[in-house]
Amino acid sequence: ILNVEQSPQSLHVQEGDSTNFTCSFPSSNFYALHWYRWETAKSPEALFVMTLNGDEKKKGRISATLNTKEGYSYLYIKGSQPEDSATYLCAFDTGRRALTFGSGTRLQVQP
Amino acid sequence: DGGITQSPKYLFRKEGQNVTLSCEQNLNHDAMYWYRQDPGQGLRLIYYSQIVNDFQKGDIAEGYSVSREKKESFPLTVTSAQKNPTAFYLCASNVGLNTEAFFGQGTRLTVV
């Protein structure tokens, strides 16, 4: 079983704060790294699918970076808003089977 | 609207019973997946199917069975052999390996 770890497990920030989370994954057999946002009572939704070492993706106030050689990815949220409150999941993709997910980082943004 | 539909949303099972969770998608996706979530844990893979009439065991397949007779449907049966079936079950699909996954809203199964 592949080991995908996310930290921190949970995070409480104030509205307007910027924050970041980490996803660690195996540095071998890498094909892609996915980030998903999972809001309460909704389905997880894809944020980014990253495939290249050094890749950076951005969607609004959310951005992600990828280091495949050392096996980590960072997700950044600039100026957090209450609507950013969700669990953020990363998933490791070997290109050969289904995604292996981390346990997620639960973010709560206080107004 | 295209999407993935899981039913029922809540399911109660008595000890020793088999139950089947439904997952239907109208996204024309080839690949479908079943994941299980327990409190404080990530999504763990039960079974996946890359094409009709073919499926593979995931990391925690014991006590579960699936079928993939139609492209749109990937039902999961939780058998009496599953020792601890109380959990939240998520179905997902994608065009194929290496593409973003789309998820249903989940089924919460409770053994009573």
Q: What tens digit of pLDDT does each residue of A25-72 get? A: 998 889 999 999 999 999 999 999 999 888 999 999 999 999 999 999
Q: Which of A67-76, B36-45, B68-77 has the lowest mean pLDDT?
A: B36-45
Beta-carbon neighbour count of residue A26 at 10 Å?
14
Q: Do B97 and A42 touch (CB under 8 A)?
A: no
Question: pLDDT, tens digit, for every residue of B9-35?
Answer: 999 989 889 999 999 999 999 999 999
Q: Say which residues have a Cβ less than 8 Å from residue A5's Cβ, sequence separation at least 6.
A: A23, A24, A25, A102, A103
Cβ contact, residue pair A101, B35, below 8 Å: yes
Taking CA–CA distances from A96, the nearest residue in chain B reads: B97
DSSP state of A82: G
Cβ–Cβ gap B98/A32 under 8 Å: yes
Cα atoms in the Cβ-side hemisphere of radius 13 Å centred on A49 = 15
Q: In B, which residues are within 8 Å of A46 by CB distance?
A: 100-102
Query: What tokens were used for A32?
Result: 């892609």
| B111 CB burial (10 A radius; 0-12, 13-18, 19+) | middle
Q: Which residue of B has its CA nearest to A5?
A: B42
Which residues, in sequence order, are bridge partners of residue A38? Answer: A87
